[in-house]
Structure 1
Amino acid sequence: MAALGRKVLAWRRLPPPAWASAAERTPPPAAGLRRRTAASRGGGREEPCGVGPGGRPSADAAPSPLDRVAGSLLDMGFAEAQVRELLGLQPAASPQQLLDVVSEFMLLGVDPGPVCVALRKSPQLLKLPVPRVRKRSAYLRRLGLAEGKLKRVLHCCPEVFTMHQQHVEGVVGVLKGKCLFSAEQVTEILHRCPQVLREDPGDLEYKFQYAYFRMGIKHLDIVRSDFLQYSVTKIKQRHTYLERLGRYQTPDKKGQTQIPNPLLKDVLRVSEAEFLARTACSSAEEFEVFKKLLAREEEEVSESGDEDGDEGEGEEGEQQR
């Protein structure tokens, strides 16, 4: 890993080509790696244009900036097909920009495969200024998301690099300050449930409060069960249904219940059919009716709260007058 890091740092220092003056002479990405057939009587072995055996520039052709970047990507461990894909993702971005962004991911310990997946999902990453990518990389390292841990984050939430810093800090701030997770637990949550980065910090806090106060789940169990990756709707539907069936109880102040609550994995991690058959012991028809009733109840509560708020404002207005 250390040797690869030194190579990446060396590749990042490649001199940027004069794209403005060479724009007309520089072939498009697909042409830069276009295969040609060597002239031979028995048919030829296909090689990339300007690239000799092993993916290196041929001795009789001066490597173009595109070939130099392609060679660097090959040296990093990318397959030729992956190099072709990367160079074709964002034609508007210069190959040097591509190399700089990929180098940052490699320095974080992300393998070539996950890098390709992340850039395929979010090719707009290639438009980011390199200093911004480096700044976000440094922030993620401080959160403990490096040395391979970023692999899952990039796979599930590649937009972590395009999000506003204020939003990311808001999510982390809620997990640490409002939910009181330790720094190690926050790292584990972001590693196991990268989807939380997309959530509104207020909604994330509500989800934690529901788990902690309504369901009686402690911090360690919230982390280990990947609880925060599930939607509030799914959580409330299944928990409330079990509660009304008498199959789930909120623990008392001592953490005790009169009945054994089902394991969280049997409540949330399973499919709806398995949840109904093994945990709720109920039919799909009954559960569908319940979900409609629960949605109506929540709607009525929401409307009642709005009306109370309006009345409060009216009373306050009257008092001011």
Structure 2
Amino acid sequence: MGTHVCRKLLVQWMWRWRVCPVAASRGHMPFCTTQEPHHVNPSCTGQVTHSPVAQLTLSSLLEIGFSETQAEEMHEGATKSRGKHVPSVLTALLLLGLNPSSILKVMQKCPEVYSLKGADLKQRINHLRKMGLLEGSLQRMISHYPKIMVLPIKRVNMVSRLLKEKCLFTAQQVTDILRDSPEVLEEDLVQLEYKFQYAYFRMGVRQAEMLKAKVFRMSLSELRCRHCFLERRGLYQTPDKKGQTLIVNPPLNDVLCVSEETYLTQVAMATVEEFHVFRKLMTREQDEEGKEDEYSSDEDEELGEDKEDDDDDDDDGQHRRKHHWNTGYKKDRK
């Protein structure tokens, strides 16, 4: 069903299916099959009497384009969620341009949407539009990752600010990241920043390349594993300050944007067994690194306390160890 047809049916539906007066008097606001206030449908009245929360009726869902099976599933989901604003949420999704089939898939992926308020949903959709997500891209992103509709606007702004200020992506590049990899909105901010650092400094990848290869779709552990596996096999080398290498590195798309099977057969030239053994070794190395960092942090605290107690006049800090990584954020975008 096209967007124009959906909106036309929605207007007809909102005009024809009025709020049941019995429900209104009892504080409930379900959509009923009442066409005029003085012709109350008995079945509607009975349903409202036994309904503790607002909900859509099967007939109203059928009227706007849901099949019988889809209407039953939508009705069941709304009932289980006990959401009080399902009609307004459904209205917002229809006005967004999603057809009934897409709406049902959104609800299946993210049942939390049932519990949203229509006003909150509209506010979040408008905020995404202001960030540059235009029609088409916005609908596809919501269909693929409906959880973005339940995330607070504050969270979206935090991730966007980190990508701009710490990772030096442009505003348009941030929009592209959110469109192609909306999962970053749920990622831990420290891990997200470290993933950028790893791709930028260890792999020598610039912002535009990261976008093209969709780096942020891959987990940090998988990114490190694929990169280090190639590096230790002599198939990948970190570029120097001039961006040069002694070997020709494989295109980043071939490293990250392919299945594990394709990666092993066409890029790494290795067997599945070799890669799985290497993955286990990498996991062990990371665990050991974590323990060393924890020990080093504890030792720094002890040294700091001893320094304050025994040598207050020593200002050069030569005995105080600091675990610091020069991130080089002042480098230009490329």
TM-score of the superposed pair, with normalisation by structure 2: 0.75
For each residue in 1:91-119, what CA deviation from the matched residue of structure 2 results, as whole angstroms up to 9, or x when unmatched? Answer: 15679832311221233333332211111
Contact 1:242 1:248 survives alignment (8 Å): yes
| 1:272 and 2:272 are equivalent in the alignment | no
Matching residue within 171, 175, 178 for 1:190: 178
C-alpha separation between the residues in 2 aligned to 1:9 and 1:138? 21
Aligned length: 293
Q: Please tell me the residue identity of whatever aligns with 1:187.
A: T
Range 136-145 or range 228-237, more displaced = 136-145
Of all paired residues, the percent bearing the same amino acid is 35
Contact 1:16 1:96 survives alignment (8 Å): no
Contact 1:251 1:257 survives alignment (8 Å): yes
Alpha-carbon spacing, 1:145–1:88, altered in 2? closer, same or farther (3 Å): farther
Alpha-carbon spacing, 1:7–1:94, altered in 2? closer, same or farther (3 Å): farther
| 1:121 and 2:125 are equivalent in the alignment | no
Matching residue of 1:309: 297
C-alpha separation between the residues in 1 aligned to 2:140 and 2:119? 23
Alpha-carbon spacing, 1:91–1:284, altered in 2? closer, same or farther (3 Å): same
Matching residue within 239, 264, 270 for 1:282: 270
TM-score of the superposed pair, with normalisation by structure 1: 0.78
Cα deviation, residue 125, structure 1: 1.1
Contact 1:93 1:126 survives alignment (8 Å): yes
Give the 5 Å matches for 1:103-252.
103-252=91-240
Q: Please tell me the residue identity of whatever aligns with 1:298.
A: Q
Range 208-217 or range 286-295, more displaced = 286-295
Cα deviation, residue 69, structure 1: 6.0
Alpha-carbon spacing, 1:12–1:307, altered in 2? closer, same or farther (3 Å): farther
Contact 2:204 2:239 survives alignment (8 Å): yes
Matching residue within 76, 79, 94 for 2:67: 79
Matching residue of 1:37: none
| 1:91 and 2:100 are equivalent in the alignment | no
C-alpha separation between the residues in 1 aligned to 2:170 and 2:107? 31
Matching residue of 2:326: none
For each residue in 1:247-294, what CA deviation from the matched residue of structure 2 results, as whole angstroms up to 9, or x when unmatched? Answer: 011122222222111122321222223222211112223222322222
Partner SS for 1:90:
helix
Contact 1:266 1:279 survives alignment (8 Å): yes
Contact 2:238 2:245 survives alignment (8 Å): yes
Alpha-carbon spacing, 1:306–1:70, altered in 2? closer, same or farther (3 Å): same
* CA RMSD between the two structures: 3.5
For each residue in 1:106-163, what CA deviation from the matched residue of structure 2 results, as whole angstroms up to 9, or x when unmatched? Answer: 3333333221111112222111222221221221221233422233323332221222
Alpha-carbon spacing, 1:153–1:177, altered in 2? closer, same or farther (3 Å): same
Range 103-112 or range 186-195, more displaced = 103-112
Cα deviation, residue 5, structure 1: 5.0
C-alpha separation between the residues in 1 aligned to 2:145 and 2:216? 15
Matching residue within 272, 280, 283 for 1:295: 283
C-alpha separation between the residues in 2 aligned to 1:307 and 1:68? 58
Partner SS for 2:79:
coil
Structure 2 residue runs of 5 or longer lacking an equivalent are: 48-54, 310-334
Matching residue of 1:44: none
Matching residue of 2:23: 19
C-alpha separation between the residues in 1 aligned to 2:99 and 2:246? 49
Structure 1 residue runs of 5 or longer lacking an equivalent are: 33-49
Partner SS for 2:169:
coil
C-alpha separation between the residues in 1 aligned to 2:289 and 2:80? 51
For each residue in 1:45-82, what CA deviation from the matched residue of structure 2 results, as whole angstroms up to 9, or x when unmatched? Answer: xxxxx79xxxx99xx98494999865664564433432
Alpha-carbon spacing, 1:170–1:196, altered in 2? closer, same or farther (3 Å): same
Q: Please tell me the residue identity of whatever aligns with 1:160.
A: I
Partner SS for 2:256:
helix
C-alpha separation between the residues in 2 aligned to 1:313 and 1:144? 46
Contact 1:171 1:201 survives alignment (8 Å): yes
Range 98-107 or range 226-235, more displaced = 98-107
